[in-house]
Amino acid sequence: MPVQWTISKPHQLVIAVARDELRLADVEEYLDGVTVADALPYRKIFDTTAARMMLSDADMMVLGARIRAYQKMSKLGPLAIVAVTERAYQQARLFEVLAEGDRPVKIFRELHLAREWLDGFDSGS
């Protein structure tokens, strides 16, 4: 499974770690899991450090549209993306633009900085 995630309801926090080849279906499966768990408003970290990004620009457009649709259904919590390779960073930037909405999104090169930033938000904000 290329994306593994844990959802902490008490901390209202989702931590997702992508490994191996990350494809559109993998991200969609993760999003389905977060949605079913009613965790869209939670703070989230999506760590791509150990992943090879296999997402096309068209895939990124699909994800952006999906996130914009979620924003019509529910408030979305802040998102910290960890992207250490240049390709992952560029795709994270594209996602940030395509999924533009009313929630903080920030891209980091280091996990601990992402967590520090995310911890600055109250649970459920």
pLDDT in tens, the chain (125 residues): 799 999 999 999 999 999 999 999 999 999 999 999 999 999 999 999 999 999 999 999 999 999 999 999 999 999 999 999 999 999 999 999 999 888 999 999 999 999 999 999 986 54
Q: Indicate the pTM of the whole model.
A: 0.94
pLDDT recorded at residue 125: 46
Residues 80 and 110 sit within 8 Å (Cβ to Cβ)? no
Encoded tokens for 61? 């457009």
Q: Where are the beta strands (DSSP E) in 60-121?
A: 79-82, 105-108
Q: Which residue's structure tokens are 């533009």? A: 100
- The percent of the chain in helix, strand and coil, each rounded to the nearest 5, is 40, 30, 30
pLDDT recorded at residue 101: 85
Q: Of how many residues is the chain composed?
A: 125
